[in-house]
Structure 1
Amino acid sequence: MITYEKIADKISSKIIDTLDDGSMDTEKLSYGILVFFINITKLIILLIGAYFFDVMLEFFIIIFSFAIMRLSNFGLHLKGSLFCTVVSFISFIGSALICKFLHFDIYMIIISYIVLILLTYMYAPADTESNPLCNTKQRKKFKFQSICKLLIFFFISLLFNNYMFVSCIIFGNLISTITILPITYDLFKLSKNNYELYEEYEP
């Protein structure tokens, strides 16, 4: 049976054989290729879902606002590519469908961002076992960046008079915030605050 792992191993072996200079770690290269294939497959499935449910624009707005926050929020990574794809499909496509009908008025926008900023202040950034954020200054920097981004999204939401656009931005921010919450880590049985297991270091 052909698997992503086998394809990644073959490609990495070909690259190593071609270069043949000992400058690359085969295992790391294979893992990088594997992650690339998994993410591409997941994206294709999400795009097909967005097209099928006629929420392509909503999906792109949600994924954009999610990705912007993810860069500084970080957040959990689910174990198992299939499980991650299913959860991502429900989260992003489900949110896009909701955004076609849900309208945030100014009071809902203000309340939403007050909650999101408070949760971000309390829990961002959230690390993983494979990427513990062991430097206090970096964590403070990422937290500050996340709060600034939410404030920018907040003002954008107030300025735009397009209900769908505003709803999608808020849902993208919401999904990113959910991925940093301790209760979410506990729900998926993932370790949180992994930096506490390591000594402080200067980058």
Structure 2
Amino acid sequence: MQDETVQRMGFIESLASRLAQRMNDERKGDHIDYLKMKLGIETILTNLSKGIIVYGVAIVLGLFLQTLILHIAYAALRRYSYGLHANSSTVCSIISIVLFVGTPVLSQYIPFTSLMVIGCGLLFITLLYLYAPADTDKSPILGAERRRSLRNKSIVTCAVITVIALLYPDPFIKSLLMLGMALQIVMILPLTYKLLKRSVKNYEQYETESRSA
């Protein structure tokens, strides 16, 4: 019965299921342990596969380093500010290619001056203060203290990257760092949520229910 279920899964989910089942059998864990391991393994495999696709395209186009720099700035800020996710892995891969490979091409025509870096940095910090961290309906960020901590860390991260961009002499690198953060800022804006018909401040529903109970 289990083998039939595995066959109906996608390749990544099937592989994650088999690995999790093997690991869970070895440690004699229960079903909850299996589900946790499966989710973790599946997340790692999914991100790895998307990374291979995105950076494979970047290498073919000779944009590996540019994509890496932009992606680092994006990921560093996203770690604390969270934000929107695509509805499927395929859509996520397509969007990632467009954003992380297409933006470095665009950045060649948008050289950032030091004044632009300062202006964008201040704007980003303001938007992070107002809207970070941004959760989703599937992953609400519960706890006012946790949200406050994530917001502060996202602001500090933005400030550090802005200073690095300000001190770096190459306008192209400045552009990559600031545009990388700009992509993540777009992911937390209420306007973006509204355009994509996604709900904002999803934690409110759970915390309201908790207080009522």
With the length of structure 2 as denominator, give the TM-score of the two structures: 0.86
Say if 2:169 is the partner of 1:135: no
Aligned counterpart in structure 2 of residue 40 of structure 1, from 31, 37, 48: 48
Cα offset for 1:24? Answer: 5.4
Aligned counterpart in structure 2 of residue 85 of structure 1, from 80, 93, 112: 93
Amino acid at match of 1:118: T
Task: Give the SS at the match of 2:207.
Answer: coil
Q: C-alpha offsets along residues 104-161 of structure 1, whole Å, 9 cap, x if unaligned? A: 1123222222221221121111112233222112212221222222222222222111
Aligned counterpart in structure 1 of residue 24 of structure 2, from 16, 25, 33: 16
Distance 1:117 1:56 in 2: 28
Which residue matches 1:165? 173
Say if 2:158 is the partner of 1:112: no
Distance 2:133 2:187 in 1: 10
How do residues 184-199 of structure 1 correspond to structure 2 at under 5 angstroms? 184-199=192-207
Q: C-alpha offsets along residues 44-87 of structure 1, whole Å, 9 cap, x if unaligned? A: 00111110111111111111111111121111221100001111
Which stretch of structure 1 is more off in the superposition, 5-14 or 57-66? 5-14
Distance 1:30 1:139 in 2: 27
Task: Give the SS at the match of 1:36.
Answer: helix
Which stretch of structure 1 is more off in the superposition, 92-101 or 81-90? 92-101
Say if 2:38 is the partner of 1:30: yes
With the length of structure 1 as denominator, give the TM-score of the two structures: 0.90
Q: State the number of aligned residues.
A: 201
Task: Give the SS at the match of 1:179.
Answer: helix
Distance 1:45 1:101 in 2: 25
Cα offset for 1:21? Answer: 4.2
Structure 2: which 5+ residue stretches go unaligned? 1-6
RMSD, aligned CA = 2.0
How do residues 144-163 of structure 1 correspond to structure 2 at under 5 angstroms? 144-163=152-171
Q: C-alpha offsets along residues 25-46 of structure 1, whole Å, 9 cap, x if unaligned? A: 2222222222211111000001
Structure number with greater CO (CA < 8 Å, separation at least 6) is 1
Which residue matches 1:52? 60
Which residue matches 2:71? 63
Does the 8 A contact of 1:75 with 1:180 survive in 2? yes
More helix by share: 2
Distance 2:35 2:119 in 1: 47
Distance 1:146 1:22 in 2: 37
